[in-house]
C-alpha cells in the first residue's frame, strides 16, 4: 500500500537541530560537510547553505580557502521549500558537528544571506573589534555594508557565530543581489586578509 506523501514541516517552530533531524533525512533533504583543519583557530561556517540561503556555501568555501576550518549545513530538497523546512534560526543552531568544530576556535565567521534589497553586507556578532576591522576593509574594497541599524545584529549569545571559545564572532549577511553576482572574490580576499592579520595591507 502506497504511503501518503508527508506534508513538509516548517522550520520556524524548531527548538533546535533535534527537531529538524526528526523531520528530515540527512543525505536526502540536507547534507553536512565538516573540514576540521585543526591547525587553524578560525572556523568559517554556512549554517544555511545549499538551497536554504543560496550561494552562501560557495562564499564560505572561498573565505575558508585551504587555511581555515569549514562547516556547511546545506539544503538539498529539489522543491523550493528549503528555507521554510530547513532554516534553523542561528540562535537555535546546535547541530552537534558544528558545535564540536567551533569549540576549539577563537574566531567564528558565519556566512548568511538575506533576501531584502540593501547593502551588500550586513555585519553582526559580538566580536566588535573584528567586526570594525572587517568593516574598514570592506570600505577599502568598495563593498557596501552596515554594522548597525539592521535586522540581523547577531548579538544573542546563543547565536552560532558567538559559540566559539571566545564567546564572540562575526556574522556576515549577504544581500540576494550580491550573491547573484557570482563574483565574490573581492569579499573573500578582504575577509581572508583580515583573518590573516593583513588588513593593513588593504587600501585605506
pLDDT tens-place string over residues 37-48: 999 999 999 999
Which one is the CATH code of 16-198: 3.30.413.10, 3.40.630.100, 3.40.50.1820, 3.30.479.30?
A: 3.40.630.100
The answer to pTM > 0.85 is yes
Low-confidence residues in the chain, pLDDT < 50: 1-4, 199-204
pLDDT at position 5: 54
The pLDDT, as a whole number, for residue 116 is 84
Tell me what pLDDT residue 199 has.
Answer: 47
Write 9-16 long-range contacts (CB < 8 A, 24+). 9/85, 10/84, 10/85, 11/83, 11/84, 11/85, 11/86, 11/87, 11/88, 11/89, 12/84, 12/87, 12/89, 14/88, 14/89, 14/92, 15/92, 16/88, 16/92, 16/94
The 10s digit of each residue's pLDDT in 5-30 is 566 888 888 999 999 999 999 999 99
Amino acid at each position: 500500500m502506497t504511503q501518503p506523501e508527508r506534508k513538509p514541516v516548517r522550520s520556524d517552530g524548531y527548538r533546535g537541530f533535534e527537531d529538524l533531524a526528526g523531520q528530515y533525512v540527512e543525505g536526502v533533504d540536507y547534507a553536512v560537510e565538516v573540514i576540521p583543519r585543526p591547525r587553524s583557530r578560525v572556523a568559517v561556517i554556512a549554517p544555511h547553505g545549499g538551497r536554504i540561503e543560496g550561494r552562501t556555501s560557495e562564499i564560505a568555501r572561498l573565505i575558508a580557502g585551504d587555511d581555515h576550518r569549514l562547516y556547511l549545513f546545506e539544503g538539498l530538497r529539489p522543491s523550493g521549500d528549503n528555507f521554510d523546512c530547513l532554516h534553523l534560526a542561528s540562535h537555535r543552531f546546535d547541530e552537534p558537528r558544528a558545535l564540536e568544530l567551533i569549540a576549539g576556535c577563537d574566531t567564528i565567521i558565519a556566512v548568511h544571506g538575506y533576501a531584502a534589497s540593501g547593502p551588500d553586507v550586513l555585519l553582526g556578532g559580538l566580536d566588535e573589534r573584528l567586526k570594525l576591522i572587517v568593516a574598514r576593509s570592506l570600505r577599502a574594497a568598495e563593498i557596501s555594508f552596515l554594522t548597525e541599524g539592521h535586522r540581523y545584529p547577531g548579538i544573542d549569545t546563543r547565536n552560532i557565530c558567538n559559540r566559539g571559545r571566545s564567546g564572540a564572532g562575526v556574522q556576515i549577511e549577504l544581500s540576494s543581489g550580491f550573491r547573484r553576482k557570482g563574483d565574490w572574490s573581492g569579499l573573500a580576499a578582504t575577509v581572508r586578509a583580515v583573518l590573516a592579520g593583513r588588513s593593513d595591507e588593504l587600501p585605506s
